[in-house]
Amino acid sequence: MNEVLDWLHHDTAGLLLLCLLAIGLLLFLIIKVKLEPFISLLATGLFLALAAGLNVRVIVGTALKANESVLEKGFGGILGHIAVIIGLGTVLGALLERSGGADVLSQKLLRIFGPKGTPIAMGLVGLIFGIPVFFDIGIFVLAPLVYVAAKRGGKSLVLYALPVLAGLSMTHAFLPPHPGPTAVAGLLQVDMGWLILIGLACGIPAFAVAGILWPMYIAPRVPVAVPDEFLVAEPAEGEVKEPPRLPTVLAVIVLPLILILGATFGTLLLDPKRDLLSVLTFIGNPAVALLIAVLLAYYLLGKRRGMTNTEFSELSSESLKPVGMILLVVGAGAFFGAVISATGVGAALATSLSKAGLPVLLLAYVISCGLRIAQGSATVAIVATGGIVGPLITDAGYSQIQLALIAIAICAGSIILSHVNDGGFWIVAKYFNMTVKQTLQTWTVLETILSLTAFATTALLWAIF
């Protein structure tokens, strides 16, 4: 018995077996037992820690020094990095949604592209509006605009819905302040500016293929009508406040990205002793940049248009309710990763990779794909994969660009092959009047194209950098 335990705790093959057992337990708890991913990740992390022989005091600490435990370090380290970012991003998205910014953006783009270019215009609406707005909220807000565009265009609803979905999915998967990319940036210690740049570099080509070319091909083959009950009557003239101006909406969306990128490039280009770099570093911190954007949005889209402080407080509270479980899932995923590192599983994986010659970029993508397909949640796939891959690259000497590419590869894997175990699959089917077969033909393939194209781009950039 002691020999078996010694093999499991110290031999590379034994540690890898424990890792596989832990992943199997995680999937069993989520898929079969139907436990919340947060609880499943926490239980799996504790199982792996105990099975690998980690000292109990190392796992949970002591009554006097609990803050030195793997449990608290895993949770606290990542949440300290991402909680403020996700919270502020959520409030910013809620302000844009409430103000009617999506309508302003869509109307302008529809005028620019005209009737024939309506699908492209709708895709750009999803792409731009999706930067600060969560995927499901984006669908709720933009679906009525898609119905009107499809009714006027007289073609399959698929032609107008898929571009919007591709834009929303791309931003949700690859760009902060969305939970997945924000979490993986913390897990892999990636500078947020580089993550934005690489996310855009890999995401935009993927959006073009999945959100523009694919809908043009598949829409004629999957006719979907817009039911009359989907169309909402236009409100009376006096019932609607004057919409915000387009430059205001765009400024609020783009400002935090510009500030974050300013800090990233300032670090590369400016003298560290210059006061300007200090200013850029401060306002370009993701939390500070998003706070500035939220305050600006509150004034321009809220206060100046009649929103009271009480209404803003209620809007903020309501929008932040879904964030709690997201943060718990991310924290539990970070704990799982901390256990992998502390038990030596990460080092064992690194040794095996080195011997097999398997690129870490491909490994990150494949693991993320497997977890996504098995249990459905993109966020769980990202944080679990980040926890597994993180220890492999800690001391490998990768540049920030390479770390960002690994992060985006993980994000790309997390959206592949959306099917019936994914909540997003059913939202798409419900809101766009599609059967299960039609949703598989359109949405599932779209997500797979988005994933594969983005990963192909990361592989190309990896070869360059």
DSSP 183-217: HHHHHHT--HHHHHHHHHHHHHHHHIIIIIIHHHH
Report, as an integer, the average pLDDT of 146-160. 91
- pLDDT tier, 156 (very low <50, low <70, confident <90, very high otherwise): very high
Mean pLDDT across the chain, nearest whole number? Answer: 86
Whether 340 contacts 391, CB under 8 Å: yes
As to burial, measured by CB atoms within 10 angstroms (0-12 exposed, 13-18 middle, 19+ buried), residue 229 is exposed
CA distance 171 to 450: 11
- Look at residue 130 and tell me whether its pLDDT is greater than 80: yes
Report, as an integer, the average pLDDT of 358-372. 90
pLDDT of residue 214: 97
Domain range spanning residue 384?
2-464
pLDDT of residue 320: 87
pLDDT of residue 453: 98
Most confident of 205-214, 254-263, 344-353: 205-214
How many domains are contained in the chain? 1
pLDDT of residue 335: 84
Rounded CA Rg of the chain: 23
Q: What is the largest CA-CA distance in the chain?
A: 80
Whether 372 contacts 381, CB under 8 Å: yes
**Tokens (6 digits) for 13:** 């093959």
- Look at residue 384 and tell me whether its pLDDT is greater than 70: yes
Whether 465 contacts 401, CB under 8 Å: yes
Helix/strand/coil percentages in the chain, nearest 5: 80, 0, 20
Whether 177 contacts 286, CB under 8 Å: yes
Three-class DSSP category at 284? coil
Pick the range with the lowest mean pLDDT from 63-67, 194-198, 287-291: 63-67
